[in-house]
């Protein structure tokens, strides 16, 4: 439920620290550079 919110927070945290003013990164590009996050999202199961 909150996977993308947590991932987006991590994106903001890493991009703010690495901002140089000339190399802006979009969230989609950031996610594509981290295929393990996509794998986690695709395979995440919530058992009740």
Q: What's this model's pTM, rounded to 2 decimal places? A: 0.67
Between 41 and 20, the more confident residue is 41
Which residues contact residue 23 at a Cβ distance below 8 angstroms, ignoring those fewer than 6 apart?
A: none
One-character DSSP codes across 1-43: --HHHHHHHHHHHHHHHH--SS----HHHHHHT-HHHHHHHHH
The tens digit of pLDDT for each residue in 12-37 reads 998 876 665 555 678 899 999 999 99
Q: Which of 4, 24, 1 is nearest to 14 (CA)?
A: 24
Question: How do the domains of the chain map onto residue ranges?
Answer: 3-43
């Amino acid at each position: 439920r909150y996977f993308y919110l947590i991932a987006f927070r991590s994106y903001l945290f890493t991009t703010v620290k690495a901002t140089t003013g000339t190399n802006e990164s979009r969230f989609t590009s950031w996610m594509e550079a981290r295929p393990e996050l996509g794998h986690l999202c695709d395979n995440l199961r919530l058992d009740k």
